């Protein structure tokens, strides 16, 4: 299994997590695109995803609500930018549904704005999974990195694999 790597980043403002997982790509795709599945793995435990809305089309909403162990809540609302069935999802928190720019109030609630690219490469019964998160400036990159990007996104991926894996 390949581990997390920042060396894959094409831009110094990108964070990258890449692994080969023992799950067929269609199951990984389902885990990312079916709300009932996403609710079960998306947020690294002990946090939980308690609500999710997916409108899987460019400009469609991608929204999650996370709840922490002490009851704190964090809402993410964004939109899909690109969808390549079974292979690639791109969404951003910098725009709302319908590509509508976020209000200043909505922007101020987010710790940073980002765009995420989830790329899936089928490898038989396995998948090369690459999550690339793009940030607009060094402060956003540093905040996300210090927040524990690799640990958090890696733990969430482990939860995805445990949920839909073949083993």
> Please, what CATH class does the domain formed by 6-164 belong to?
alpha beta
Rounded Cα gap, residues 65 and 53, in angstroms: 9
Global confidence as pTM: 0.90
Q: Where are the domains of the chain?
A: 6-164
Where b means 16+ CB within 10 Å and e means fewer, 13-49 reads: bbbbbbbebebbbebbbbbbbeeebbbbbbbbeebeb
Q: Tens of pLDDT along the chain (167 residues)?
A: 444 444 455 799 999 999 999 999 999 999 999 999 999 999 999 999 999 999 999 999 999 999 999 999 988 999 999 999 999 999 999 999 999 998 888 777 777 899 999 999 999 999 999 999 999 999 999 999 999 999 999 999 999 999 998 64
């Amino acid at each position: 299994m390949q581990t997390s790597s920042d060396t894959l980043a094409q831009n110094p403002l990108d964070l990258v997590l890449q692994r080969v997982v023992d799950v067929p790509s269609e199951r990984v795709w389902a885990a990312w695109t079916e709300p009932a599945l996403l609710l079960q793995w998306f947020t690294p435990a002990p946090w939980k995803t308690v609500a999710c809305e997916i409108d899987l089309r460019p400009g469609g909403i991608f929204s999650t609500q996370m709840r922490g162990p002490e009851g704190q809540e964090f809402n993410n609302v964004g939109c899909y930018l690109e969808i390549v069935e079974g292979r690639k999802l791109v969404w951003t928190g910098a725009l709302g549904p319908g590509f509508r720019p976020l209000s200043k109030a909505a922007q101020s609630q987010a710790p940073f704005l980002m765009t995420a690219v989830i790329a899936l490469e089928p490898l038989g019964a396995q998948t090369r999974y690459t999550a690339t998160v793009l940030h607009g400036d060094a402060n956003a990159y540093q905040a996300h990195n210090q927040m524990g990007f690799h640990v958090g996104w890696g733990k969430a991926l482990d939860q995805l694999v445990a949920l839909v894996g073949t083993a």
